[in-house]
A = this chain, B = another copy of it.
Amino acid sequence: MELTRIAVIGTGLIGTSVALAMRERGCAVLLGDRDERSLQLAIELGAGTELTPGAPVDLAVLAVPPAAVAATLLDAQKRGLAHFYTDVASVKAMPLVQAMELGCDMTTFVAGHPLAGRERSGPAAARSDLFLGRPWALCPTPQATASAVAAVTALTKACGAEPLTVDAIEHDEAVALVSHGPHVVSAAMAARLAQASGTALGLAGQGVRDVTRIAASDPALWIGILTANAGPVADVLDAVAQDLAVAAAMLRAGTEGDEAVAEVAAGQLADLLGRGNAGRGKIPGKHGGRPSAYAVVSVLIPDRPGELARLFQATGEAGVNIEDLAIEHSPGLPVGVAELSVKPEAAETLAAELRARGWSVPG
């Protein structure tokens, strides 16, 4: 099924990213959001045009918090907004139950959840490639028609994601384990750093940065997700808390001077670390990172004002469009490294042009 006209209700990170992805496929996108600023920003970003009453679109994507899905669906169906409907909430059982209780038409609705996100939220953080290679869970009920399932599946594929059909309850337990639980664990570890000394923070390396990265996410958004999946998330947190409490007890027991006790304690700790190894090893490598269609050209840049401007002046003169940029910079060192992502065919030209202009381009 080809989607030619869709509506996106909710122009946050996920909604706007869906809209951008569909715009790239040439699909018309109508945008709605109760927050006028968010809506205007999404429109300015090229995500679509403002939703106005008219003929039903092929598919409406309800990109609203879990607790708002059912009411938004009912309202949209009453208005005859679309032939088919889906949502993108991180929790599936609660919105489905609420939709049935509200008397929504379940034949045209297929619940969905793209497993993609960022620490940042809002339309300005959206990107059309957010779903590339990512799983996108679909939870069709027995009432959903084959056409509804086909329409929502077409959306996931058009966004470059991998559709995955799963039962709603199973989905919620799964995401408690691989998303919602890790989120709270990350936050609880990060919370320890709130009162940390400058010395401690100065010694922070990549490990703690990775463990706490998702703790930077928007609390309000996450409260909505966690409370909508309370039971399964609580089970995961209790189990992790239990393991950590035992580990702490074992560490203390090991310092009491009894060698036999210390050995048992070390064995318990080793068991936990071993289970950690095993669990980590279970995560598939397939969807490991964002697939990159770009080549990276690294350039050394002196650490002083104006150097980036000079560099971009040079890339402009080389006629090469920079698709993305990361700056690696070691504190106190006189140079940093700018990693310029460009279309692969442009990489060699760019490197040569930059070298010709006196830039140091290693490799």
Contact = CB atoms under 8 A, between A and B. Distances in A.
Contacts of A203: 115, 135, 137, 164, 166, 171, 174-175, 178-179
Interface string A8-29: 0000000000001101100000
A335 B248 contact: no
A146 interface: no
A173 interface: yes
B192 A128 contact: no
Nearest to A161: B330
A188 interface: yes
Interface string A201-220: 11111111111111111011
A83 interface: no
Interface in A103-123: 115-117
A284 B244 contact: no
A5 interface: no
Contacts of A1: none
A193 B175 CA distance: 11
A283 B193 contact: yes
Interface residues of A, number: 155
Contact of A330 (B127, B178, B249, B328): B127
A214 B207 contact: yes
Contacts of A202: 135, 164, 284
A334 interface: yes
Contacts of A305: 315-316, 319-322
A243 to B, nearest CB: 4
Contacts of A278: 190-191, 194
B329 A287 contact: yes
Interface string A229-270: 011011111111111110111011011000000100110011
Contacts of A270: 219-220, 223
Interface string A289-325: 1100100001010011110110111011001111111
A83 B362 CA distance: 34
A344 interface: no
Contacts of A279: 189-194, 196, 212, 215
A196 B208 contact: no
A184 B250 CA distance: 12
A326 B325 contact: yes
Given A178-B200, A282-B196, A324-B327, A240 B24 contact: no
Contact of A331 (B128, B223, B326): B128
B178 A44 contact: no
A160 B331 CA distance: 10
A207 B231 contact: no
B244 A331 contact: no
Contacts of A170: 197, 199
19 contacts: A20-B333, A23-B333, A44-B300, A44-B362, A45-B337, A125-B328, A132-B333, A192-B239, A193-B280, A201-B283, A209-B283, A212-B276, A217-B277, A227-B269, A234-B249, A237-B248, A305-B320, A309-B315, A324-B327
Closest 6 CB pairs of A and B: A133-B330, A288-B331, A187-B276, A309-B312, A193-B279, A128-B330
Given A164-B203, A227-B266, 13 more contacts: A45-B337, A133-B333, A160-B333, A166-B199, A171-B203, A179-B203, A188-B272, A191-B240, A209-B283, A210-B211, A227-B254, A234-B247, A240-B241
